[in-house]
Chains A and B, each alone.
Chain A
Amino acid sequence: MSRFLKLALLASTLASPLAAEPLGLGRPATPEEVAVWDIDIRPDGLGLPEGSGDVATGDGIYTEKCSACHGVFGEGAGRWPVLSGGQGSLTDARPVKTVGSYWPYLSTVFDYVHRAMPFGDAQSLTDDEVYAITAYLLYLNDEVDDDFVLSSENFAEARLPNEEGFKPDDRMEVEFPAFSEEPCMTDCKPEVEITMRAAVLDVTPEETAAKEAAEKAEAETPEPAAEEAASEATTEEAPATEEAAAPEEAPAEAPVEVAEAPAADPAMIKAGSKVFRKCKSCHQIGAKAKNRVGPVLNGIVDGPAGAVDGFRYSKAMEAAAEEGLVWSHDELSAFLADPKGYMKGTKMSFRGVRKEEDIEALIAYLRDASE
C-alpha cells in the first residue's frame, strides 16, 4: 500500500473511523471500460450522450419496435404498460400513470429506453434513435408538436408535467404516530361481520391439474371471466408487479403443416416481406423459426389454427382450433384485417393490417417464406 493511498483514505471524510486501509484488491478500471457500462442518465443531464432525433423518425421506430406492446398511440396492449394519456387522472378511482401523466423526468424515459428497450433486445438502439423515440413519446403525450426535435442541446429544457407531483417518504411523520399506540387486547368491539370475501371474485390460480380440467370444460368461453373480475378488484396496474415495459406482444396463431401455394408473384412476395416487419417483433418464419411472443408461422396459410407445438394459445384460439378452423386465404385475411374483431380473446394484440393489398402481399409472403 502506497503512502499516498493511505493519506488519501485518511482524508476521505466518508470513511468510518475504523476504516481500514484499502486492501489493494481489484484493479483500476480504464475510462474506456467504464464507458461501456456507464450509460445512466440523470435529470440534470449528467450522462446524456450527444445526439438528436425528431418526432417523425421516432414515429417510424416506435411503430416498428414498440407499438406491438405499447400500442400505436401508446395506449398499451393487454397488460403491457400504457405510455400516453392519463393526464389529470391521478386522483381518479383508476389513475392512468404514463410518461405524460406521472413520470417526473424526461431523463428517466431516455435512460430506460436506452438501457432496457426494446424488450428482449436491450441496448440495440442508437443514441439518436433513443432521442427520436423520446421525442415521439413527448408528442404522443401532447407535450410537443410534430416538428419537434429533441437533442442533447435542448434536453434540459424539456419538463414533464408531473415533476412536482412527488414528495419524500413521510411515513414516519404522518403514519407512525397513528400506528404506534398501544392496541386494545380485550373487548375491543361488540361484534364482527365479514364485509368481503375473496371467493366471490374467484381469481386465485388453481392447481395445474384442476385448472386444465376446468379449462377443458369451458373451452368455449372466450376469455377468463376472472381476468375482468381481477382487474376490477385490483389496482389497474395489477398488483404488484408492474411489468417492465416492453415491446413484444402477443400474437397470432399458426400451424405447422405446409400448404400448397398458388402461383407466387415475386413482387408481391417482396412487398409482403415489408409488411411482415410489423409481425417480426413477435413472429418468426422459415427454417430456423422459433416460437417467440407469437407462434412460428410456417405453413400458416391453409393450415389449421392453433396447431403449433409448444405455443400457449388463448382460450379463444384453442376453441377455434377445436372447432376445426383452417387459415384459408379468406379466414386469414379477415383475421389480419382486425384480429380482435375477428376473434375476441385472441392474444394477438396487433391492431391489424389496414390495406387490403398489404394483406394480399403478406399472405403471399407467408406462403413463400414457409417453403
Chain B
Amino acid sequence: MTDDNQNGPSRRAFLTGAGAVAAGTLAGKASAQDDPAIAIKPWMQELGDGVDVSPYGMPSPYEEDVKRRTVEWLTADPVSSINFTPIHALDGTITPNGICFERHHSGVAKVDPAEHRLIINGLVDRELVFTMEDLMRFPRENHVYFLECAANSGMEWRGSQLNGVQFTHGMIHNVQYTGIPLRLLLEEAGVQTEGKWLLAEGADAAGMSRSIPMEKALDDCLVAFKMNGEALRPEQGYPVRLVVPGWEGNMWVKWLRRLEVGDQPWHHREETSKYTDLLDDGTARRFTWEMDAKSVVTSPSPQAPITHGPGPTVLTGLAWSGRGTIPRVDVTIDGGITWHEARMSGPSTPKALHRFYYDFEWDGSPLLVQSRAHDSTGYVQPTKDQLREMRGLNSIYHNNGIQTWAVDADGKAENVEIS
C-alpha cells in the first residue's frame, strides 16, 4: 500500500536498512557502502523494448499498486457503484485518465460515436440534432476543473471509518477538458425567454438526468469530448459529457444525448431522493450544487506512511473549492495547536485542484496531521464537528470537514478524529 515502490524494491530495501542505522541528518543519504543498487544492473547491459512494443504506453510494473479501488460493502452490486482515485500515490494536480474515479448508475455505456446524437429540444427556437462531427465544428476551449462526487467523504459523517485517503477523499479527479461552451450550443438553438432550466440527460441505461439552472448553463459549462488531450474514457462519458465546473459530480452527465430547455426544474430522482441533504430537523436541502472548499493531506496518510524515519519530510495534499481558487492552505502536525501556512505549488485556477506542501524536519514523535483550505471567497474549511453541528449526521453529501491522520513513531498513519 505504500507509494515508495515507485523507486523499485531495491531502493525500498535500502531505505529501510539505512533508516535504522542512519538516523537524523544521514537518513536517506546514499552512503556507498554495500549498496546493492550501485552495481551493473541488467537494464544497463541488455536491450530494452523497441518502439513497436507499447503503442499505447502503460505505467511501470512497479506502479501496479496505483489503481482505482472499490469498497465492496458500499453498494448492492458493482454496476451501480463507485470506485476511488488513488490520490495517496499522485502528485501535482492533474489526474491521469486511467485512474480517474468512476461512478455509474447502470454501468459504463459503450457508445459508438458514429451512432451518437445530441438533441436540444424544449423551449428553443429551433430543436436541433448534432452528430459528433457537427459538435467538432463549434469553437472549443480548454479548462482544468475538478470533478468531486457529492458523496465524497460521505462515509465519515459518523466518525472515522475508512483507513485510506483514497477511500475517504478519492471520489475526485482533475483533468483538462476540451469542449464547447454550452452557451454556444444553446445559442445555436435559441433559448426562449421562459427557458430558465436545462435538463441534461445521458445515453446510459440509467438515463441519468439532472436539472441545471440556465444561469449556470450559460456561464461556464462545457460540452466536452476530450480529457487531458485525448478522447474521454468510456467510463467518463465517451464520446461526450457535460462539464459543470465547481458543482457536484452527478450533474456532469456522461454520454450526453439530450438537453431540454424548460421553465421549471424536473425534480428527477437524482435531485430529490438522492443528492439532497437531510438535516437534523428532518427537512432536506435540495439543489445543493456547489462543492464547498475542502482539502486533505494525501501524504503522509494511511496508504502513504513515512518510511524514511526522522529528518526532512515532505507533507503534501490537495485543496479545492467549487467557488473559486485556493489562495491559502494551513497545515498542522500537532492536532491543531499550531498551524503553518503551506507552500502552494502549481497552477491556481478556479474550480480546479491545488497542490500544497509543508516541508518539515520530523523528530520521529507521533503526529496529528490536518490541513485547512481557504478559498477566494473567504470561506474557511470547517472541522467535522462544526459541520455536524450545522447539519447533523444524516446528510450523506457535501462532507468537507477537516481530515485528521495520526502518524505514529514508525511513520504509520491512521484515520482518526481528535478533540
Contacts and interface: CB of A to CB of B under 8 A. Distances in A.
Given A29-B127, A179-B382, A196-B416, A171 B282 contact: no
Interface in B161-212: 161-164, 167, 171, 183-184, 186-188, 190-193, 195, 199, 201, 205-207, 209
Contacts of A167: 283-286
A8 B190 contact: yes
B307 interface: no
Contact of B292 (A95, A171, A195, A234): A171
A166 B127 contact: no
B79 to A, nearest CB: 8
A20 interface: yes
A235 B127 CA distance: 43
Contacts of B345: none
Nearest to B80: A244
Contacts of B127: 28-29, 31, 34
Contacts of B272: 103-105, 108, 166
B16 interface: no
A16 B235 CA distance: 34
B155 interface: yes
B239 interface: no
A248 B127 CA distance: 37
B380 A234 contact: no
A233 B193 CA distance: 49
Nearest to B395: A235
Interface in A1-57: 8-9, 12-16, 19-20, 22-23, 25-29, 31, 33-34, 37-44, 46
A274 to B, nearest CB: 27
A204 B417 contact: no
Nearest to B157: A235
Contacts of A253: none
Contacts of A326: none
A174 interface: yes
A243 B130 contact: no
Counting chain B residues whose Cβ lies within 8 A of the other chain, the interface size class is: 35 or more
Question: Which of B154, B273, B275, B335: most chain A CB closer than 10 A?
Answer: B273
Given A23-B188, A240-B396, A241-B81, A29 B129 contact: yes
B417 A194 contact: yes
A12 B191 contact: yes
Given A111-B268, A193-B419, A196-B417, A241 B103 contact: yes
B34 interface: no
Given A38-B121, A194-B418, A237-B396, A185 B164 contact: no
A103 B276 CA distance: 10
A40 B268 contact: yes
A327 B130 CA distance: 56
A250 B289 CA distance: 34
Main SS at interface, chain B: loop
Given A79-B75, A170-B285, A97 B273 contact: yes
A226 interface: yes
B285 to A, nearest CB: 5
B417 to A, nearest CB: 4
B162 A33 contact: no
B76 A169 contact: no
A192 B418 CA distance: 7
A354 interface: no
Interface string B104-148: 011000000000000111000111111100100110000000000
Contacts of B336: 188-189, 192
B253 interface: no
A12 B129 contact: no
Contacts of A95: 278, 282, 394
A26 B135 CA distance: 8
Interface stretch (A114-122, A136-144, A337-345): A114-122
B73 A224 contact: yes
Contacts of A169: 285-290
Contact of A38 (B159, B260, B302, B379): B260
B15 to A, nearest CB: 21
A126 interface: no
Given A38-B121, A183-B330, A239-B74, A91 B105 contact: no
Given A166-B284, A196-B159, A233-B159, A40 B266 contact: yes
A310 interface: no
A231 B276 CA distance: 20
Interface of A: 8-9, 12-16, 19-20, 22-23, 25-29, 31, 33-34, 37-44, 46, 69, 78-80, 90-91, 93, 95, 97, 99, 102-105, 107-108, 111-112, 115-116, 119-120, 122-123, 165-171, 174-176, 178-199, 201, 203-205, 207, 224, 226-227, 230-231, 233-235, 237-244, 246, 248-250, 293
Given A199-B163, A205-B70, 18 more contacts: A12-B187, A14-B192, A20-B184, A33-B129, A43-B264, A91-B282, A103-B272, A167-B286, A171-B292, A180-B380, A182-B380, A194-B368, A195-B417, A198-B302, A224-B73, A233-B161, A239-B151, A244-B106
Interface of B: 1, 65, 69-77, 79-82, 103, 105-106, 119-121, 125-131, 134, 137-138, 149, 151-152, 154-155, 157-164, 167, 171, 183-184, 186-188, 190-193, 195, 199, 201, 205-207, 209, 214, 218, 257-258, 260, 262, 264, 266-269, 272-276, 278, 280-290, 292, 302, 330, 334-339, 368, 372, 377-382, 386, 390, 393-394, 396-397, 406, 414-419
